[in-house]
Structure 1
Amino acid sequence: MIWLRRGLKVLALLVVLGAVAWFAAQRALGPKVAVVLPARREVVQTVVSSGRVLSPAEVSLGSQLGGLVREVRAREGERVTAGQVLVELDDRELSTQVEQARAGVLVASTRVGQLRTVSARVAGESVRQAQANLRAAETTWERQRTLFRSGAIAAAELESAQRSVDVARSQLQSAQIASAGSSAGGGDARVAVAGRVQAEAALRVAEARLAQSRVVAPGAGVIMTRSVEPGDVVTPGRALLVLLRDGDTELSMTPDERNLADLRLGQRAVASAEAFPDRPFPAEVSYIAPTIDALRGTVEVKLRVPTPPPFLRPSMTVSVEVEVARHPNALSLPPDAVRDAATPSPWVMVVGDDGRTARRPVTLGLRGERVVEVASGLGERERVVPSSVGAAVRVGQRVRLRSAEAAR
C-alpha cells in the first residue's frame, strides 16, 4: 500500500515535469503562426464614393406677352418634342395686325411695280417727245437765221425762234430728270423700295408677336410642373411650365480630396443605384471641380452615363466605383499583411530561414479592394506574417509555420 502511494506520487511528479518540459520546449520553438505568400495577379485600384443622379436642365417656360390663355396642350409627366406648342394665348388681335401688315407689304410692292413699268414708260415717252420738240425748234431757228441774214425777216422773228429753242431745251431737261427719278436707281424708285422694306419689317414684327402668343418646347423632355389652366390671365415672364430637358445623364459624387491625384478625365467607372444594387451600369469621369470644398475636404466629380438604364431618376442615390489604375501582373499581399500601410513607412513581418521573424520595409503600389501591390522590398517566396495574429508575435521571435496561403 505504501509502495502504491509512493508510485502515484512519482508518476504525478513525472507528469508535472513532462508538462513543464513540453511547455518550455514550445516556448523555445515559438508559437505556430499562419503565413501568407506574395502572389502575382492583376491589381485594380478604385475610388469609391456615394453620389446622386443629376437632373438634366430644368427650364421654366413662360410667355413674353400677357393675355388670356386659350389652350394648354401639355400635362405633368407628359413627354414633349422640340417645337411642340404647349400653351396658346388669345391671338385674335395679333392675327389682325399680321393681316394689316401683309396688306401694307402688298401696297408697297405695287407702288414699286408701278414705278418700274408704267411710270418708267411714260417718262421715256416724255423724253423722246421733248427731244423731237427740241430738234424741230432748232431747225426752225436755223431757217429763220438764214432768212434774217438775207433780210427777208426782222430780228424779232429770229429772237422768237431762239426763245422756242430755249423752251424746248428746258422741257427736255425736265423730262430727263423725271425719267431718272422713275428709273430703278432714281429718287422716286428708292423711296418706293424703302417703303416696301419698311412694310416687310412691320410684317415680320407682327408675325413675331403672333408667334410669341404660343409657348413652345425649346427641346425634347418631360413636363415636370404645370401652373396654368385655360382661362387664366397671364403676365409676361410668369413661369407657366417647367420642362426637364433631355440630355446626357450625369452622376455627381464627392470623394475625399486625398483621391484628387488619382482621378483623371475619361476614367471608367461602375455605378449602381441603392434601389437597384444588382443592376450596375457603366459611367465615365467627365468633370473634376477645380476647387475643393474647404468645409468637407471633398472634391466634386461628375460622370457621364452613356447608356443610362431606364430605372434612373433625378436625385437618386448611387454608389460609384472609379477605376483609377490597373497593373496586370503585380506582386500583391492581402491588406492585413501590410503593417502601417497608411504611414510613409509601411512594412511587413517575414519569417526568415532561421525561423525568426524580421521587419521588412516595403514600398506599396496600387491598393485594390482585396489586395495591395508591393512595388519593392519583398521577394516572391517570402513568408509574411499577417497582422491578424495580433501582438503575440514580436519581431525577432522564433515561430513555427502552421500553413502558407497565397495572396488572393
Structure 2
Amino acid sequence: MNYEAKMFGRQERLEFTGEPGARSNRRWIWIGIVAIVVIGALTFYLLSRGGDAAGKGESAKSEGKGQSQVPTVTVVSPGRSTVQTIVSGTGTLAARREMPVGVAGEGGMVTRVLVEPGSWVGAGQVLATVDRSVQSQTAQSLGASVRVAQADARLAQSELDRAQRLVANGFISKADIERKTAARDQAAARVRVAQAQASETNARNRRLDIRAPAAGLVLTRQVEPGQIVSSGSGVLFRLAQGGQMELRTQLAESDIQKLHAGVQAEVTPTGSTKVFKGQVWQVSPIIDPQSRQGIARVALSYDPALRPGGFASARIIAGGITAVILPQSAIQSDAQGNYVFTINARNEAVRTPVTTGEVSESGVAITSGLTGAERIVLTAGAFLNPGQKVIPTPQKPN
C-alpha cells in the first residue's frame, strides 16, 4: 500500500508492506490467547478440586455427626460374690458378770483393806478385815462351854457304865439305870448345843472378813481402814467375774431380728484403733416400746484397754449372701420398681428389672434379676432409653 503525505512542504511517499510488524503483533496475540487458556484451565482445575474437597468434608462431617449421636457408656460384668451382712452399733463397755461385794455380817470397824482396783482375786479371798476383838472373846467363852459340856457328858457316861455292871448283883435298880441313862443323854445334848453355839459364833466372826464370792478382777473399792461398816453400808467392792467384759449395744428392731447368740463381732473402743474380737452371747428378748430398740450383748475377753463404762463401736457379722453387687449409680428406679440397663449383643440398651437387698460398703446386693454375666451400664443409665444404640466401654480395673 502506498501513501502519500506532505510534510514541511515536501511530498513524500511512504510504502508499508506490513510483514515485520504484523508478525510481531500476531505473536503477542497468540501468547495472550495461550496465557488466557492456561489461566482458565488452572482456574477450572482448582475450582473442581475445591468442590470435591468441600463435598468430601461435608460427607465426613455428616458421618461424624451421625457417629457422635451414639453415646458411649461404661459397662461391667460383675459376676457373683459373697457379701456379709453387717450390723453396726455403739454402746457401753461393762463387766459381763458384775459382782457387788458388801458386808455380810454385823460389821464393825475396818482394820485392813488388802486389794486395790485392778487386782485379781480368787474365790473366797479376803478383801478387807473388820475388828473382831469382842467377837473373839465370845468365841473363846463358847469354846470353854463346849469343853465343860463334854466333861459332863464323859462323867455321865462313866456313871452309867458302873451302874450297868452292878445291876446284875441287885445293888442298882433298873430305875436308877434309866435315870443315869437319861442324865448321859442330857449331857450329850448339852455338848451339841454348846458346839452349835460356838460354831455359830465362829461363822459370824468369819463373816466379819469381806471376801470375794468368786474369782475375778477388782473394779472399784469404796472402803478405807478405820471406816465403820455394817450391812447397810452398801457396796464396798465391785468385781468382774473371771475378768470377762462385754459391750451392751442398742440396736434398731430390724437389726435385732438379724442376730442370734454366737455370731461374731468386732469391737473398737473410742479413742483406740485396736479391734477386739468377740461374739454375741445374748440378744434382748424384748424391745423397748418407746425407742423401738433392743440390746445385744457382745462377750469380750479381758484386756486392759477394755474399761467398763467406756464407749465403743461394734461391727456384728449377722450372716452372708451370694449375690451380684453393683454401685448405687447403676441402679435406677421408677414407678414400676428398680431396674438396671444391660447391653445386648446388638449394643442396645435393655431395661432389666431387679430386686435389691442389703446395702454395704461394697455396694448394693441384687437378690434377683441378674446372673452377673450381663454387661451392665454403670453410669448414665438415667439418660438412656430401651432399645437405644450405645458404644459399650468395659470398666477399667482399679
The TM-score by the shorter chain falls in which range? 0.7 to 0.9
Show the counterpart of 2:162: 122
CA gap of 1:290–1:332, structure 2 versus 1, over 3 A, is: same
* Secondary structure of the corresponding residue to residue 280 of structure 2: strand
Question: Is the 1:340–1:346 contact (alpha carbons within 8 Å) kept by the matching residues of 2?
Answer: yes
Selected match of 1:82 from 116, 120, 123: 123
Sequence identity (%): 25
Show the counterpart of 2:277: 282
Q: Where do 5+ consecutive residues of structure 1 fail to align? A: 132-171
After superposition, residues 195-210 of structure 1 pair within 5 angstroms as 195-210=190-205
- Matching of residue 323 in structure 1 with residue 317 in structure 2: yes
After superposition, residues 236-385 of structure 1 pair within 5 angstroms as 236-239=231-234, 241-247=236-242, 248-277=244-273, 279-305=274-300, 307-327=301-321, 330-336=322-328, 339=331, 345-364=337-356, 368-385=360-377
Task: Kindly tell me the number of residue pairs found equivalent between the two proteins.
Answer: 350
CA distance in 2, matches of 1:13, 1:350: 39
Aligned AA for 2:110? V
* Secondary structure of the corresponding residue to residue 261 of structure 2: coil
Shift of 1:288: 0.8
CA gap of 1:38–1:17, structure 2 versus 1, over 3 A, is: same
Aligned AA for 1:244? L
CA distance in 2, matches of 1:101, 1:320: 60
Selected match of 2:384 from 380, 393, 397: 393
* Secondary structure of the corresponding residue to residue 299 of structure 1: strand
Question: Is the 2:119–2:218 contact (alpha carbons within 8 Å) kept by the matching residues of 1?
Answer: yes
CA gap of 1:178–1:346, structure 2 versus 1, over 3 A, is: farther
CA distance in 1, matches of 2:371, 2:223: 74
Question: Is the 2:102–2:231 contact (alpha carbons within 8 Å) kept by the matching residues of 1?
Answer: no
CA distance in 2, matches of 1:236, 1:304: 33
Show the counterpart of 2:175: 177
CA distance in 1, matches of 2:289, 2:133: 58
- Matching of residue 52 in structure 1 with residue 92 in structure 2: yes
Shift of 1:176: 0.8
CA gap of 1:92–1:340, structure 2 versus 1, over 3 A, is: farther
Show the counterpart of 2:35: none
* Secondary structure of the corresponding residue to residue 277 of structure 2: strand
Greater share of residues in helix: 1
CA distance in 1, matches of 2:93, 2:50: 81
CA distance in 2, matches of 1:322, 1:225: 30
Question: Is the 1:281–1:309 contact (alpha carbons within 8 Å) kept by the matching residues of 2?
Answer: no
CA gap of 1:193–1:129, structure 2 versus 1, over 3 A, is: same
* Secondary structure of the corresponding residue to residue 331 of structure 2: coil
Q: Deviations over 1:55-77 (max 9, x none)?
A: 34151423532433333333444
CA gap of 1:325–1:73, structure 2 versus 1, over 3 A, is: closer
Q: Which has the higher contact order (CA 8 A, sep 6+)?
A: 1
Q: Deviations over 1:275-328 (max 9, x none)?
A: 332x323211111111223333322111122x444422213333322222234x
Structure with max Cα Rg: 2
Shift of 1:16: 8.5
CA gap of 1:398–1:96, structure 2 versus 1, over 3 A, is: same
Aligned AA for 1:107? V
Selected match of 1:41 from 81, 84, 107: 81
Shift of 1:101: 0.9
CA distance in 2, matches of 1:340, 1:286: 40
CA distance in 2, matches of 1:176, 1:63: 53
Shift of 1:15: 7.1
- Matching of residue 65 in structure 1 with residue 106 in structure 2: yes
CA distance in 2, matches of 1:119, 1:397: 123
Moved more, 394-403 or 93-102: 394-403
Question: Is the 2:91–2:250 contact (alpha carbons within 8 Å) kept by the matching residues of 1?
Answer: yes
Aligned AA for 1:22? G
CA distance in 1, matches of 2:323, 2:109: 75
Q: Where do 5+ consecutive residues of structure 2 fail to align? A: 1-42
Q: Deviations over 1:32-91 (max 9, x none)?
A: 110111313333222222333223415142353243333333344444333232322221
CA gap of 1:390–1:39, structure 2 versus 1, over 3 A, is: closer
Aligned AA for 1:180? E
CA gap of 1:393–1:282, structure 2 versus 1, over 3 A, is: same
CA gap of 1:9–1:101, structure 2 versus 1, over 3 A, is: farther
Alpha-carbon RMSD: 3.5
Q: Deviations over 1:248-294 (max 9, x none)?
A: 221222232222332122112223333332x3232111111112233
CA gap of 1:39–1:275, structure 2 versus 1, over 3 A, is: same
What TM-score do you get using the length of structure 2 for normalisation? 0.75
After superposition, residues 89-100 of structure 1 pair within 5 angstroms as 89-100=130-141
CA distance in 2, matches of 1:282, 1:13: 75
CA gap of 1:320–1:189, structure 2 versus 1, over 3 A, is: same
Aligned AA for 1:402? T
- Matching of residue 22 in structure 1 with residue 41 in structure 2: no
CA distance in 1, matches of 2:336, 2:382: 22
* Secondary structure of the corresponding residue to residue 239 of structure 1: coil
Selected match of 1:403 from 367, 371, 394: 394
